Structure 1
Amino acid sequence: MRISTVTMYEQSVSSMNRQQGDFLKVGQQIASGRRVVNPSDDPQAASRAVGVSQAKAVTEQHADARISARNSLAQAESVLNSVSDAVTSAKTRLVQAASDTLSDVDRESLASELKGIYETLIGQANATDGNGRYLFGGYQDDSPPFARTTGQGVSGVAYIGDENIREQRIDASRLMPVADNGKTIFQSVPSGAGYVARAERDSDPGTGNTLGVQADKGYYANAGSVTFKGPDRIDPEDPAFGDNLTVRFEDDAGVMRVRVEDPNNPGTDMYDEAYVSGKSISFGGVSITLDGEPADGDQIQLRPANAGDANQDLFKSLKDAIDVLEMDQAGLDENRAHFRNTLSSAMRELDNSLDNVLTVRASMGARLNELDVVDAVGSNRMMNYEQTLSDLVDLDYNEAISEYSLRQVGLQAAQKAFVDVKGLSLFNFL
């Protein structure tokens, strides 16, 4: 069989090109460190690698989200730490103010200190995260969530943010709250909080004494000098426990009586006894100790701390305390009684507010701990993804170097064979 010179040349060049292609492919694998440089090298492995790479990218995004969530929670927790310190300091000042040895000037001095705490709390409630976003405004984080208000002669602080809670996805199956709204923190009480009492009546006593007017609820200070201690929980199973209760003082033919209407039977009193100063009375699952001389029509409003018409506003509690500390008692028994009752109510409300702040702060701490756990899980997942990718596309250098040497020998052999074939000619034998 005759083999033409052209055929020999074509076969030799084709063999060299194939050997050179295989040699360059192995060299490219060694240079890149990857077994699958192009999808055609291993279509199945390349396809699986794309899926693993996408899952890895999502996991990296969740890791970045956890960093952002941790920063937000850490800043909010730090602010609440300052808030709890401020509330504790305010309670200490109120304990000092309750002393009978203080003069009006001393109480005004304590009122000045409380004003400083009041301003501090407003500043903390309007804290930002360092990027101009307000921590406690809910979704409305572009403006201060708390604003000063003045209406009907009463000044205070109003929450103007929304009640939403900003959340961030920290993992495929976990959407974590990263910032609680201000209403939840500064204008709420924890579940299970007890009763709070205020010595106020719902009609003008007609004495010209309007101390402690709550314009938003229409309550007026009592005309008498009755004071209270409590209320204390004694029977949570009582049918009336948890309802709004009102202690009324009524003059019945010259005898002062204490009456409490049954909230489950309107028009019927669950308690009706002659008033005795210093006596502790029980009704509706609670007890309260009364002292002093009440006037006809005086009332003490008992409300569950989480009731809608109970004061749950930390700022209002402080404002009431400041106002009563600045009051000129003028040596009047009813003024002193109003002072003591207001301080007692304010201190219990501050206790509830502090418990609520600590509850929210504990929740933030739990979320920070959860982020650490999710971080550990995410790190393990990333290691698994990287190992899977390595198994799919990374190069085994020992095998690749052996293959490289083999391809090099094959290329050299093809080149040598081409040289030898090219030298074949009949003219060499003539």
Structure 2
Amino acid sequence: MRISTQSFYEQNVLAMGQQQQKLFRVQQQLATNSRFLSAGDDPVGAARALGTSQSLSEISQYATSRQRASLALSTEENALDSVTSILQNIKTLTVAAGNGTISDADRASLATAIQSAYDQLVGVANTDDGNGQYLFAGFKSGSPPFVATAGGGVQYVGDQGQRLMQVDVARQMPTSDDGRTIFQSVQGSAGYVASAAASNTGTGVFGPVSVTNATAPNYGKDFTITFSATDYTVTTKDTPPVVAATGPITPDTPISFGGVQIKFTGTPAAGDSFDVSTAQNAGTDVFAAIGELVTALRTPLTGGGAAAQAKLQNALATANVKVTNAHDNVLTVLSSVGSRRSEIDALDSGGAARKLQEEAYLSSIEDLDPYSAIAEFYQRQSSLQATQMTFAKLNSISLFNYL
């Protein structure tokens, strides 16, 4: 069979072109360290690689979210640490103010110190994150959550929203706590708070309220203790009131009612009254409690006698319990923040492990075997060179060489 010169050239050029393409493909694989250059090379492998790459992107995004969440929680934790220090300082000053030997001037100095701590507390409550977003304002983070009122106190103008961040596939974590929960709330386990009426004229001073029977019928209700010249009457604050206990005034004997008891020292005057309320109903605003404490310390006792001293002691006792309840509440929130940060650390460890697994799987799909690829490269190169040499040799053959 005769082979025309044109066909000879076409077939050889086509063969060399195909071999050059195969060699170039191996070179690209070596350059990219990938088994396939397009989805058509391995459709199943390409689909698996795409899914794994998307999973790695999600893992990376969750890691970034956890980093931001950890930073937000760290900022809140630092602020709450400051709050606990301030409240502990106020409690210390309150105890010092209860010393019966100090003067009005000394109490005024303590009131000034507590007022300074109060101002610090307001400042921390209005802390921002450095980007103009207030930590304890809930969703209204663009403006300070606590503003001064005409009466000299502060009012919470934020909301009770919690900013959530997706830190893992099935975990949305709150990265903030609102100011009302921190500064105007108490824990459900907080006990009773006793307080004296402002109109009291006697020398009665109450002691701590202790629980004697948490299953008593009236336990958990709020009470009012009213004294006459010889007797006391305890009524609930229900509508209508219910008499919970009554009896003669006996010195150094606790008064029991509603599963709790309280002891009085001194002599209450006829008409004096005292409230014994649950912590939730006794006033949970720590700023208001501190403000009342400052007012009590700035009230001179000179000329007031034992009745004025009793009124101060009762005010200090009430303030101390309220500040303690607020302190315990902040510690609970602080513990929650610490738990969330620990959870982020655990999620980071799990995310890093998943990332290694996904990267290993992606590598098994995409990565090129360098030894096989190099061997194939030299094989393709040798084959192309042999074809080129053969074509050159055959191209030089002519009948004129044999005449």
TM-score by length of 1: 0.90
CA pair 386-267 structure 1, distance change in 2 beyond 3 A: closer
Deviation at 1:40, TM superposition (A): 2.1
Partner in structure 1 of residue 285 of structure 2:
313
Partner in structure 2 of residue 193 of structure 1:
190
Judge which range, 77-86 or 294-303, deviates more: 294-303
Partner in structure 1 of residue 50 of structure 2:
50
Query: Secondary structure, in 3 states, of the residue corresponding to 1:374?
Result: helix
Query: Secondary structure, in 3 states, of the residue corresponding to 1:102?
Result: coil
Match of 1:417, as an amino acid? T
1:156 lines up with 2:153 in the alignment:
yes
Partner in structure 1 of residue 213 of structure 2:
235
Pick aligned residue for 1:302 from 241, 264, 276: 276
- How do residues 293-372 of structure 1 correspond to structure 2 at under 5 angstroms? 293-307=267-281, 310-332=282-304, 333-372=306-345
Query: Would you say the 8 A contact 1:278–1:292 is kept in 2?
Result: no
1:417 lines up with 2:390 in the alignment:
yes
Deviation at 1:266, TM superposition (A): 4.4
Deviation at 1:267, TM superposition (A): 5.1
Partner in structure 2 of residue 2 of structure 1:
2
Partner in structure 1 of residue 88 of structure 2:
88
Match of 2:257, as an amino acid? F
Query: Would you say the 8 A contact 2:222–2:236 is kept in 1?
Result: no
Partner in structure 2 of residue 388 of structure 1:
361
Query: Would you say the 8 A contact 2:224–2:237 is kept in 1?
Result: no
Match of 2:163, as an amino acid? R
Deviation at 1:13, TM superposition (A): 0.6
Query: Would you say the 8 A contact 1:188–1:356 is kept in 2?
Result: yes
Query: Secondary structure, in 3 states, of the residue corresponding to 1:175?
Result: strand
Match of 2:138, as an amino acid? G
1:261 lines up with 2:235 in the alignment:
yes
Partner in structure 2 of residue 18 of structure 1:
18
Deviation at 1:292, TM superposition (A): 2.6
Match of 1:7, as an amino acid? S
Judge which range, 416-425 or 281-290, deviates more: 416-425
Query: Secondary structure, in 3 states, of the residue corresponding to 1:56?
Result: helix
Query: Secondary structure, in 3 states, of the residue corresponding to 1:290?
Result: strand
Deviation at 1:262, TM superposition (A): 5.0
Structure-1 separation of matches of 2:203 and 2:393: 126
CA pair 368-411 structure 1, distance change in 2 beyond 3 A: same
Structure-2 separation of matches of 1:12 and 1:38: 28
Deviation at 1:144, TM superposition (A): 0.7
Partner in structure 1 of residue 98 of structure 2:
98
Query: Secondary structure, in 3 states, of the residue corresponding to 1:143?
Result: coil
CA pair 156-315 structure 1, distance change in 2 beyond 3 A: same
Aligned residue pair count: 402
Query: Secondary structure, in 3 states, of the residue corresponding to 1:197?
Result: strand
Query: Secondary structure, in 3 states, of the residue corresponding to 2:152?
Result: strand
1:165 lines up with 2:134 in the alignment:
no
Structure-2 separation of matches of 1:241 and 1:325: 33
Partner deviation per Cα, 1:368-395 (whole Å, 9 max, x = no partner)? 1111110000001111111111111111
Structure-2 separation of matches of 1:221 and 1:416: 118
Structure-1 separation of matches of 2:265 and 2:252: 5
Uncovered stretches (5+) of structure 1, i.e. residues with no partner: 201-219
Deviation at 1:268, TM superposition (A): 4.2
Partner deviation per Cα, 1:268-309 (whole Å, 9 max, x = no partner)? 4221112234331111011111123333332211111123xx
Query: Would you say the 8 A contact 1:221–1:338 is kept in 2?
Result: no
Partner in structure 2 of residue 285 of structure 1:
259
Match of 1:192, as an amino acid? S
Query: Secondary structure, in 3 states, of the residue corresponding to 2:188?
Result: coil
Deviation at 1:241, TM superposition (A): 0.9
Uncovered stretches (5+) of structure 2, i.e. residues with no partner: none
Match of 1:269, as an amino acid? V
Partner deviation per Cα, 1:27-47 (whole Å, 9 max, x = no partner)? 111111222222222122112
Query: Secondary structure, in 3 states, of the residue corresponding to 2:175?
Result: strand
Deviation at 1:157, TM superposition (A): 1.1
Deviation at 1:51, TM superposition (A): 1.2
Judge which range, 185-194 or 332-341, deviates more: 332-341
Query: Would you say the 8 A contact 1:225–1:338 is kept in 2?
Result: yes
Among all aligned residue pairs of Structure 1 and Structure 2, give the percentage whose two residues are the same amino acid: 39
Deviation at 1:263, TM superposition (A): 6.2
Query: Would you say the 8 A contact 1:240–1:263 is kept in 2?
Result: no
Structure-1 separation of matches of 2:7 and 2:188: 94
Match of 1:191, as an amino acid? G
Match of 1:398, as an amino acid? Y
Q: Provide the alpha-carbon RMSD of the alignment.
A: 1.5
Query: Secondary structure, in 3 states, of the residue corresponding to 1:424?
Result: coil
Query: Secondary structure, in 3 states, of the residue corresponding to 1:409?
Result: helix
Structure-2 separation of matches of 1:377 and 1:167: 20
CA pair 12-421 structure 1, distance change in 2 beyond 3 A: same
